[in-house]
Every structure is written in C-alpha cells, then in structure tokens.
Chain A
Amino acid sequence: MKKYILLAFAILFVGIYLFPLYWMYVTGLKAGSEIFRFPPTFWPQTLHFNVVDIWVRLRMDRFLTNSLIIALGATAIIVAVGTGCAYALARVRSIWMDVALFATLMMQVLPSSLMITPIFVSFNMVGLLEYPRLAVVLAQAAKLLPLYIVLCRTAFMQVPRELEEAALVDGNSRMGAFFQIAVPLARNGILVTSVLVFLQSFGEYVYSRSLIGERALQPATVGLQSFMGPNTSDWSGVMTYSAIYVTPILIVFVLLQRRIVSGLTAGALK
C-alpha cells in the first residue's frame, strides 16, 4: 500500500514539474487569440493543428539538421578531450590537480552572451568564421567541457582503484588500464554526461546567432528566435515550433531513459 501512495505522490510531483511542458503543447494547439483569454483554457476549444504548415514553411528539416550537426560535433570534441581529463582529475590528488580543477571551473563563468564578442573577434582573426558551424562547435565545446569534466569525474571516482592496480600488476600500461578498465567501468556515467552535454548543445543559441550568418546553416534555435522576433503575433506557432523541436528529443529520451537513469544511479559495478 505504501508503495502506491508513494507512486501517487511521484506522479503528482512529475505532473507539477512538467506543467510548463504541457502548457507549451496546449498553447501550440490553440488558435489565434484563445491564448490571451482569461480564465485560460486548459484544453484548446478549437484544435489548431499547424505542425505540417510550420514544418514546411520554416524549413525546419534544415534547421534541425544543423542543430544535430552542431550538437554531435560539440559532444564528440567534449568526450574526446574531456574524458581523459576527468579520469586524471579523479585519480591523482595533488596541488597541481587542484589547480587544474579550479582553472577548469573558472573557465565557464560568463554567459555566452558576454563571451561572444571576444570569440567573434578572435575567430575572425584566425579565419574560423569561414566555417561558421565548425566555429560554433568549437566554442560550444569549450563552454560545456568544464561541466562534462566535473560530472564525468564523479563517474571515475566510483571505479575501484584496486581493479586498475590489478591490471597494472598484470602488465598493462597506464594507458591500457585506462582504456580497458576505467573507461568501460565508467561508461554509464560517460554516456549519461554525454547525453546531457548533447542536449545542452542542441539548444545552443547565442553563438550560432552571432557566428552563423547564412540561413541555410543556422540551427533550430536561431530559426525559432527569428520566428518569434519583436513583432510576434503567432505565439501558437512559436509554441508549435518549440514542440516540434522538443518532441523528438523527448521521445528518444523516454526510450533511452531507463538506461540513462540506471546509468546515473546504479553504482558502476552493480
């Protein structure tokens, strides 16, 4: 019985928490001025289903492809560069490692909106602006790398040191022990952190907006912003756009989530 009371509470919490998400979908389905009505309607009086129209008119396929490219690129760089660092920071305890960890955190202080001017200026100097999507990938990777390192580090903390030491005794090199013992055992944590980083990059906006001029190369967030410019009347359309944008990730996420959540919460060896 207690279990079901808990379940009921859990559903209530999730319900409250996800209300904004629900509101996004409902607003997307409302027509015209119904969104301004008070009292608000919790279910649209007339369903206004404009997914296809928005998709085609705004060429969302192109936008989403670009978002995907940017998110995948940034995640790849972050995983390649950050995993080893997280491992080293988890294993070695010294003043130098403290300094390194400290420096890593410091690098991600400022919001993108304040970092963009220097990034623009320096990227322009080295000619990176010729490859705008690459430029965004590089900048975004730098933004999320510290987060990845800090989170991944906890995953490596959970890998028992003895296992690695045993591997070293068996004649493995440090590098071998890292790739054959530490990484496989921490893979859940690595996977989950990568997913988080991927999701954040998928929603990247400020860098893309400033570094990518050409419409055909812009990601979905920039498309959304230009769609909801200062004189937006089509709020329902904006919400539809957002829904189209969020739903695929949500579906993938729900499908993968058992693995994600167990990866995060189950101890590495269970």
Chain B
Amino acid sequence: MAHFWSSIRDSRGFDALLVWLALGYLTVFSAFPLVYNFVISLQTVDLFSLASFDRPFVGLENYREVLSDPVAGTVLWNTIRFVVLSVVFQLLIGFGLALFFQQDFPGSSYLRGLFLAGWIMPALVVGAVWSWILAGDFGVLNYVLRSFGLIDENIFWLSDHQVSLYSVIIANIWLGVPFNMILLSVGLASIPQDLYEAAELDGAGAWQRFYTITLPLMRAPLGAVVSLGIIFTLQQFDLFAALTQGGPSNASNVAQYWSWQLSFQTYQISRGSVVSVLMIVFVIGVAAIYTRSTRYEQNY
C-alpha cells in the first residue's frame, strides 16, 4: 500500500493516474457513443429500435448501400473541398494575422484580443447573421461588392449550386481564424527573440529569418492547429443547418450533414452511422498525423 502511494506520488504512476483520469472520463462519455455508432452501422436499425441492442445484424450491407448511393461521390468531393479550403485559409489568414500582430505597435495586443469575438458567438447566432449577410436579394455582401463595382449582378450565395459550398466555407473560415491566430501567436511568442537578433547580425533578411527560424520552430503549433482545424471543420454542423441545409441539390452537402440527414430526416439510421464511422476512420488518420507532429515539439 505504501508502495502504491509512493508510486502515485513519485513516479510513472503519477503520470499514468493523471492520464487515466481523463481517458477514463472520455471512455465513459465519448467512447460509448462511438462504439454504439459502429455497432448500429452493422445492423438494421430504425427509429424505434434505438434503445435495444437486439437488432438484425447485416454485416457490411449498409456500407455497400451508402457507398453505391450516387450522392456519396458528391458528398465526398464536397467534404474534401470544404475541409481543405477551410483549413488552408484559416491557417493562412490566422498565421498572417498572428505575424502581423506580433509586430510592435500601439494597441496590438488589445486589437488582437478582439478577434476572439468569433469564438464567443454561439454557432446558432453566427449562422443566422451570415445567412443575412449572404442573402441573395437583400444581403449586404452583394451590396458591398456591387458598390465597389466587383460584380454587376447579385450573386446568390446560398442558392446557386456552384457557389453555395464556398459560402459555407467563407463563414467557416471566419469562425476558425481566431483560433488559429491565437494559438499561433502563442507559438510565435515562445520563440526566443535572441535567435532573430543573432540572425539579423548575420545579415539574414526578413524572409530568410522566417524560413530558417520561424517556420521550423513553429512546426509543432502548426501541426496542432492543422489537425485541430480539420477536426473542427469536420464537426461543423450548425453553419450548414443555418445557411444551405446542404443544398441546393446536395451541392453543399458534406459528410457530417449527410449523416445527420440520413439518420434524422429520412430515418435511415444505420446508413447515417455508416457515414459517421467512415468519418471516424478518416480522423484516425488525422489524429495520427497530429501525434507524429508532436515529436518535433521543442521542450525548453
């Protein structure tokens, strides 16, 4: 017993305890839903057999049906575009702003803080506000673009099937920028200033310093931001619900929304679960990349 306590207080046992505390919590409250999803993806389930586990087992039949659905291809391609474009632009804009606000000018930290407003707004409200801004006939975005002479005719951001996905992406980028910016600011602040000073003495230009010092040292935060960004983007549901409902004609439908539609609109719950499971498989890949990226972290 004494040994047990000392192992908890003094050695690996302490770390293990801390990790298990959190993992235990997650196992109870998060792992169960994931397993449950997996189980029903192999069964025939309807709205009314949700609570019992005694349901016909159909193996991979649901997977076959989902993958042969003509919508599946559209959804996959949309999901890829949604995730890649959202993450890339969130990162570029977030990183750009982080670098910008890193400079020394009056009010820099104060103004930077205001960007977090995007984080405060509940997704429901964000969705409603953007649906106003993007509205085709009376939206303010069209008005602004027209007054600057950038467009001649109103763009129907939400109902033009060639544009609607990009509209959701724009709103999603807006949501994700503060997170990227703040996290990258933290990373930038932890780079020792003397490294830059030394490089400057050696005659390195601004770009050179960026490539040789900033980027390599930012590898870990960038890895974290990208993988979390991918996960957040895959979790993005409210914007679709508020802006396009995946339409028109599935033009802006993505995996997470499609899964919800299958489960909760046409009550094909097994198929909805199949889509969720496929998303999980994808995220396992992302999580693996993140975990690898942490190997490059600097420990002071």
Contacts and interface: CB of A to CB of B under 8 A. Distances in A.
The answer to whether any beta carbons of A and B sit under 8 Å apart in the complex is yes
Interface of A: 2-4, 6-7, 9-11, 13-14, 17-21, 23-24, 27, 35-40, 42, 77, 81-82, 84-85, 87-89, 91-92, 97-98, 100-115, 117-119, 121-122, 124, 138-139, 141-143, 145-147, 149-151, 154, 157-158, 160-161, 173-176, 178, 189, 196, 199-200, 202-203, 205, 221, 224-225, 228, 235, 238-239, 242, 245-246, 249-250, 253-254, 257-258, 260-262, 264-267
Interface of B: 8-12, 14-19, 21-23, 25-26, 28-34, 36-37, 50-51, 97, 100-101, 103-126, 128-130, 132-133, 137-140, 143, 147, 174, 177, 182-183, 185-190, 220-221, 224, 227-228, 231, 234-238, 256, 259-260, 263-264, 269, 272, 276, 279-280, 283-284, 286-288, 290-291, 294, 297-300
Contacts of B294: 98, 101
Contact of B132 (A196, A235, A246, A253): A235
Contacts of A257: 110, 113-114, 116
A39 B146 CA distance: 10
A174 B9 contact: yes
A116 to B, nearest CB: 8
Contacts of A174: 9-11, 14
18 contacts: A6-B100, A6-B108, A10-B105, A23-B133, A24-B129, A40-B139, A85-B19, A88-B15, A102-B291, A103-B26, A112-B235, A149-B22, A154-B224, A178-B14, A199-B120, A242-B125, A246-B120, A246-B125
A239 B128 contact: yes
Contacts of A81: 21-22, 25
B299 A157 contact: yes
B192 to A, nearest CB: 9
Contacts of A200: 119
Contacts of A77: 25
Contact of B120 (A20, A40, A249): A249
B111 A14 contact: yes
B36 A118 contact: yes
A113 B237 contact: yes
The interface centre, meaning the residue of B29, B118, B119 with most chain A CB atoms within 10 A of its CB, is: B29
Contacts of B126: 20
A111 B257 CA distance: 9
Contacts of B15: 88, 91-92, 97
A14 B125 contact: no
B260 A114 contact: yes
Contacts of A196: 119
Contacts of A103: 23, 26
A18 B117 contact: yes
B107 A10 contact: yes
Contacts of B31: 107
A145 B29 CA distance: 11
Sort A-B residue pairs by CB-CB distance and give the 7 closest, nearest first: A203-B122, A84-B18, A142-B29, A85-B22, A257-B113, A118-B33, A118-B36
A142 B27 CA distance: 9
A117 B50 contact: yes
Contacts of A138: 29
Given A101-B291, A235-B132, A239-B128, A117 B299 contact: no
Contact of B276 (A21, A42, A110, A119): A110
B150 to A, nearest CB: 15
B138 A40 contact: yes
Contacts of A108: 30, 231, 235
B143 A38 contact: yes
B208 to A, nearest CB: 21
Contacts of B174: 17, 20
Nearest to B283: A109
Given A105-B231, A113-B260, A98 B116 contact: no
Contacts of B101: 10
Nearest to A178: B14
